[in-house]
């Protein structure tokens, strides 16, 4: 029998069940889904779950296309953006199409590359932990950039992305915009002009639906058709009925979406000020998290200390960011609890 | 840019939106999910969808393990049995581990093999369109058998499966039991004895949850760990919160499950008698569908004629079964409508 070789899988943030934590470790939204989500998941719709879901995901595709004012056949929906990204690696990477991504970024890129035997190169962030877009101008292969970047939250402007995409139109650029709605500008509209740009987004963060598993990609029709080819060859009904309805209701409520993301931005900036006042060093995050280091305590120590006080954050073993903690931005109350606890911990050193 | 080569994707049964059909074409259950499914998908649970789902799927794993009286670490849950099967092909097939499956069976096996570049051999059914289990005894590679078989519904006894698995314990046997609950006996309990047996089941048929996308595999811990390795490297949160709750509620309601499958069995046997009386030839289906041929009309013609009358069934272009139609077993009323329409069509020839 074939047995799997030792791949190093991605390790999701912990989901401990021992007590209720102030949970600031997996970049979830602190807000419930839009009110209409509850209404559309009616008894009548639940009772239709004996029937398969629409494999073309057409009503949700249309709702996403409406939001971004594009044609529905340029949208691909998957079971979470992890699935959309994995399909993209499988579709657009192979031995002669290596992948290039930052040394510090979303951990799944490395895992997907290994899963599909795609050679990859990690390009170091600069000393401020920002992506230096010039470093990607001349690489021969597919570029994968999270914008804002995972772990660091740093953001590349629309112009920077446009330049990168324009520079070499034989090369695909995948931009993972999981965190774009917290202060960045989406490059989705560039897909009108450029055939070599694939933009991936998620309903897990700014649309408050991490537990529904919906993500999507926008690009030119050929790229989108390639993703459908993988989907139909793998799991044609991959999006379930209820998640489709939930995501459609979520993207249609623009006011709630704006309100949630503005709260996150406000809470982020308040938390940033508090941490800076306490002497923390922070990256310029435009995401729903902050990456912060304190010279007086290691990331791991601060993580353990906060966990014992009922506050979950995350730290990373990567050498370049091992002094940092990553803090998901939650509600104002959650951030106050976090800051008070950090004050107490530092005061006791 | 890499572009996908021309793979021939699986074609799911049509889901036309032009009018309401008596839909007997995709082997769905005609019955709604268990009543408790509606209750557990409460407003409170829907409002928690801002949080990620449990990547270990622990509560559903336990419910499945309880049902089959096995240990939860021998259960793997996926986003529909298509995903579970695809993971299994990826985990257990490669150039030196070819796949062997029947020439007429679930179309996705060929598609998965092509997707993962796994060599495969189709072994012909016998003249009665049944699997001849002896043909699989000496093959060098992974065996994939749907039991009951897709399209034909024919069934292999527990003893036949046990013999096949025992014959060569260095070779993996994957048994896809999507249709097992309509008169067959599951070989899940053989996984206690044999390390080279992986059994795949689905919530889409006998558990009335096609639209929720939940399937699972049972096997020894090493096989299950291999599937987790793929899952965590691909889409760690692949099962959404609501489907997890729905599936748990569905498997816990044994009385409803038994009632639904008994109805299907009764309706199948009634429909079989009616068709035989009209001169149809049928395979010995123990699934929630019948495969039936009439010497007076081709499968395609009968399909078109029934569709124009508002009844959807399916036919297949494969040469060996092109005279057949496949009829999903629905409610008693649906089957009466089908039979009346076939009588009318044959009467008009």
Residue-wise pLDDT for A155-208, tens only, equals: 999 999 999 999 989 999 999 999 999 999 999 999 999 999 999 999 999 999
Instruction: Indicate the residue of B33, B83, B112 with minimum beta-carbon distance to A49.
Output: B33
Which residues of chain B neighbour A257 with C-beta distances below 8 Å?
A: none
Report CA-CA distances (Å) from A99 to A113, A140, B159, B186, B232. 8, 9, 50, 44, 20
Query: Per-residue pLDDT for B6 more than 70?
Result: no
CA distances from A223 to A198, A227, A228, A233, A319 (A): 8, 7, 9, 16, 36
Between chains, do A94 and B226 touch, taking CB under 8 Å as contact? no
Looking at the partner chain, which of A86, A94, A196 has a beta carbon nearest the beta carbon of B234? A86
Strand partners, A120: A99
Q: Please give, rounded to a whole number of angstroms, the shortest distance from the CA of A235 to a CA of chain B.
A: 5
pLDDT tens digit sequence for A279-311? 999 999 999 999 999 999 999 999 999 999 999
In the predicted model, what is the mean pLDDT of residues A81-91?
98
State the DSSP code for A73: G
Q: Do B104 and B152 touch, CB atoms closer than 8 A?
A: yes
- Cα–Cα nearest to A324, from A289, A349, A298: A298
Q: pTM for the full model?
A: 0.96
B328: β partners? B289
What tokens does B272 get? 């079989």
Provide the pLDDT for residue A3.
Answer: 61
Which pLDDT tens digit goes with each residue over B151-186? 999 999 999 999 999 998 999 999 999 999 999 999
pLDDT at residue A120 in the model: 98
pLDDT of residue A223: 97
Average pLDDT score, chain A: 95
Neighbours of B124 (CB within 10 A): 13
In this prediction, residues B16-43 reach a mean pLDDT of 93
Closest CA of chain B from A296, distance in Å: 32
pLDDT, average across residues B240-245:
98
Residue B304 predicted with pLDDT over 80: yes
Contact (CB<8Å) A32/B48:
yes
* CB < 8 Å to A208, chain B: 49-50
| pLDDT of A7 over the 80 cut | no
- Nearest chain B Cα distance for residue A23, angstroms: 10
Using 50, 70 and 90 to split pLDDT, how confident is the model at A317? confident
Cβ separation B47–A30 shorter than 8 A: no
- Percent residues over pLDDT 90 in chain B: 91
Q: Which of A3, A115, A240 sits opposite B233 (nearest CB)?
A: A115
Residues of A in contact with B112 (CB under 8 A): 233-234
Q: What is the mean pLDDT of residues B113-139?
A: 96
CB contact under 8 A, B28 and A240: no
* pLDDT confidence bin for B250, thresholds 50/70/90: very high
Task: Record the tokens describing residue A274, joined without a space.
Answer: 């508090």
Closest in A49, A111, A233 to B10, CB measured:
A233
Tell me which chain A residue has its CA closest to the CA of residue B195: A1
Q: CA of B256: how far to CAs of A86, B35, B249, in Å?
A: 38, 9, 11
- Name which of A8, A51, A22, A19 is nearest B208 in CA terms: A51
Mean pLDDT of B35-46: 98
Q: B233–A51: do the CB atoms touch at under 8 Å?
A: no
The DSSP H or E segment spanning A269 is helix A254-277
The predicted-structure confidence for A213-226, as pLDDT tens digits, reads as follows 999 999 999 999 99
Task: Name the helix (H) or strand (E) containing B175.
Answer: strand B173-176
Residues A213, B240: C-beta atoms closer than 8 Å: yes
Q: What is the pLDDT of residues A269-281, one digit of tens each?
A: 999 999 999 999 9
Task: Tell me which of B26, B46, B49 to substitute to probe the interface with A (most A C-beta atoms closer than 10 Å).
Answer: B49
- Directed axis angle between helix A81-92 and helix B221-234, to 10°? 90
């Amino acid at each position: 029998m074939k047995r799997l070789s030792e791949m190093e899988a991605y390790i999701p943030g912990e989901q401990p069940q021992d007590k209720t934590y102030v949970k600031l470790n997996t970049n979830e939204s602190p807000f419930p889904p839009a009110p209409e989500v509850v209404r559309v998941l009616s008894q009548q719709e639940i009772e239709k779950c004996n029937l398969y879901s629409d494999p073309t995901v057409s009503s949700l595709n249309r709702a996403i296309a409406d939001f971004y004012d594009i044609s529905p056949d340029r949208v691909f929906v998957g079971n979470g953006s992890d699935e959309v990204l994995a399909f993209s690696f499988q579709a657009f990477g192979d031995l002669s199409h290596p992948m290039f991504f930052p040394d510090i970024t979303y951990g799944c890129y490395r895992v997907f590359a290994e899963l599909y035997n795609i050679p990859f190169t990690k390009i170091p962030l600069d000393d401020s932990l920002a992506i230096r877009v010039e470093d990607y101008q001349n690489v021969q292969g597919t570029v994968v950039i999270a914008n804002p970047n995972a772990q660091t939250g740093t953001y590349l402007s629309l112009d920077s992305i446009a330049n990168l995409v324009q520079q070499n139109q034989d090369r695909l650029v995948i931009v993972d915009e999981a965190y774009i709605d917290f202060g960045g500008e989406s490059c989705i509209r560039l897909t009108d002009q450029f055939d070599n740009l694939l933009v991936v987004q998620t309903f897990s963060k700014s649309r408050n639906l991490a537990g529904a598993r919906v993500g999507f990609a926008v690009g030119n029709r050929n790229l989108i058709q390639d993703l459908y080819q993988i989907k139909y060859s793998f799991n044609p009904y991959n999006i379930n009925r209820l998640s489709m309805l939930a995501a459609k209701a979520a993207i249609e409520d623009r006011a709630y979406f704006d309100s949630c993301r503005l709260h996150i931005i406000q809470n982020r900036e308040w938390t940033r000020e508090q941490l800076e006042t306490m002497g923390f060093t922070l990256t310029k995050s435009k995401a729903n998290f902050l990456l912060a280091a304190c010279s007086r305590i290691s990331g791991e120590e601060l993580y353990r200390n906060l966990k014992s006080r009922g506050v979950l954050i995350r730290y990373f073993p990567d050498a370049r960011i091992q002094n940092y903690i990553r803090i998901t931005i939650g509600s104002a109350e959650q951030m106050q609890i976090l800051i008070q606890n950090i004050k107490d911990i530092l005061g006791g050193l």
